[in-house]
Amino acid sequence: MKIAIAQQNYHIGNFELNRNKIITAIEEARQQNVDLVVFSELSVCGYPPRDFLEFSDFIDKCYESVELISQHTFGIGVIIGAPQRNPKIEGKDLYNSALLLFDGKIIATAHKSLLPTYDIFDEYRYFEPANTWSVIDFKGERIALTICEDIWNLTENPLYSTSPMELLVQQHPTMLINVTASPFDYDHDDDRKEIILENIKRYHLPVIYCNTVGAQTELIFDGGSLVFNNTGSLHKELKYFKEDFYVFDSKDLLTDNQPIANYRFVDTRVAKARNREKLVEYLTSEKNIDQIYQALILGIQDYFKKMGFKKAILGASGGIDSAVVQALAVMALGKENVHVLLMPSEFSTSHSITDAEQLSGTLGNSFDLIPIKNIYQTYLTSLNPVFMDLTFSIAEENIQSRIRGNLLMALANKFGYILLNTSNKSELAVGYGTLYGDMAGGLSILGDLYKLQIYALARFINKSEEIIPVNILSKAPSAELRPDQKDADTLPDYSVLDQVLYEYIEMRKGSKEIIEQGFDSELITRILKLVNTAEYKRNQFCPIIRVSRKAFGVGRRVPIVGQYLY
């Protein structure tokens, strides 16, 4: 049987766009005499639709799209993803389903069995799990059709009591097709391959794995769809971070060689992070940074395209964070669509201004310079009777940051810009930022990258030529809100801080476990207290492009008023 994988970028709720993409791919497959074309999970409506699923009109439009798509399936099989209503009164009202269309109608349906409800996923909020499982006969093949999580319950600590493939394999399938919307993080591609190999080891079947691609606000879907033969050899890996289309013959996925043996699934993310000495190297490895770069570019492009925005603005301080955001924005949107505002204060160093001007000159984007000294002095004059000559403190520092936030938002409102936030994960973790000041923005570009990763990303951007001035990479980071200020005056060195934060946030280790790795106990107590007491700030922060296994935002839910681990 000739099969096509259509790896596509959908827009949540944009039924006409999604439908047209699917129909176009069907016609392309038809021209190549394809028997079956496979699309990804919830391809009809886009993933994740979240509370749109609670609107009956939204579900009606899904059904309408399925019907319109089915009119293009005469003589060709099409697997698409769409929500389906549950006819039973008991249970949730919807299924997350994969539909096989052929000759103008639905000839088979597979409902998702394992509904992830952790991290960024909340599927049990909306969907009823499958309670029947059937192999699908189509053109001489017996297809075990599964959806995303359905093939992931094979780890040493399974999340679910049921494994759909254990039931489907009893019906003697000849291939496994998995349609998925698997979000990106910077080593998830390794885990996908490992779980597919574990399925092949157990069931001795070729695997066709069709993933979606594109950004949905904070979530990045990186594509990388896969085709493996029945012995675990990789037949094809589709493009990452781009749409792709691939045709092959199912007979090429069968071999008489013995299936892979002596293979045991290991969560590579955990294994890689266990060695403290290797952790910094791992976080800043070129492979990871390359993937992060592509993910951020796609995240910026899709956010603006899908929201109907065109132009971005950001504040340029002459520091590493704003420099990296500025470079990424220009690369993603074009220099003509990026405007930068330089807002030096009396505490800004001269090289901060010249470095920022040099960067804009290299990138070719427009910029304005608005010194804030006079505005700041007006604030102090107005507040002096109330402040009663108290010593300079964080209050005066934050006023400067909020002035800058107001100026940026004024230009954004006046000219229709979207403000890109430049805060990093290290700062957000410990609360080193000002609400309504440098924490303002419509989209956070670096909020899931630790400071060490941002330096590595800057070096990656400079790989072929000097784009970000070398002085920005070499000078000590500073907020420049008081004389001779340095981040190191307030925070532990980033080479230590970032390791501790990774162990706590990504690996969810408690203080005792982290201290046992050789960290100073007082330092750990201090850092974890900073993280936990800053939750109220992060709760008011803008969406963050997710690139790690545990990002701040929808995937990390901790109480604001909780007292734990400090």
Residue 360 labelled as part of a binding site? no
User: Helix, strand or coil for residue 194?
Assistant: helix
The question of whether 41 is a catalytic residue gets the answer yes
Residue 316 labelled as part of a binding site? yes
Residue 361 labelled as part of a binding site? no
- Asked if residues 408 and 314 have their Cβ atoms less than 8 Å apart, the reply is yes
The question of whether 373 is a catalytic residue gets the answer no
- Asked if residues 208 and 244 have their Cβ atoms less than 8 Å apart, the reply is no
DSSP state of 22: H
Distance of alpha carbon 200 from alpha carbon 202, whole angstroms? 5
**Active-site pick, 112, 272, 306, 451:** 112
**Active-site pick, 21, 41, 62, 550:** 41
Residue 139 labelled as part of a binding site? no
**Helix and strand counts by DSSP (H, E) for the chain:** 18, 19
**Active-site pick, 45, 61, 128, 148:** 148
Distance of alpha carbon 90 from alpha carbon 69, whole angstroms? 30
Distance of alpha carbon 379 from alpha carbon 382, whole angstroms? 5
Q: Which two tokens stand for residue 54?
A: 């609670």
* Contacts (Cβ under 8 Å, ≥6 apart) of 412: 313, 418, 419
Amino acid (one-letter) located at 37 = V
Residue 317 labelled as part of a binding site? yes
Distance of alpha carbon 147 from alpha carbon 112, whole angstroms? 5
Residue 315 labelled as part of a binding site? yes
Distance of alpha carbon 124 from alpha carbon 95, whole angstroms? 10
Residue 318 labelled as part of a binding site? yes
Distance of alpha carbon 151 from alpha carbon 492, whole angstroms? 42
Alpha-carbon torsion (118, 271, 289, 423), positive or negative: positive
Q: Which two tokens stand for residue 372?
A: 């804030």
In this structure, the dihedral spanned by the alpha carbons of residues 350, 353, 358 and 360, taken in order and rounded to 10 degrees, is 180
* Contacts (Cβ under 8 Å, ≥6 apart) of 341: 313, 314, 315, 316, 367, 368, 369, 370, 404, 407, 408, 411
Distance of alpha carbon 111 from alpha carbon 148, whole angstroms? 11
Active site residues: 41, 112, 148
Annotated binding site: 118, 182, 315-322, 398, 422, 427, 537
Annotated binding site for deamido-NAD(+): 398, 427, 537
Annotated binding site for L-glutamine: 118, 182
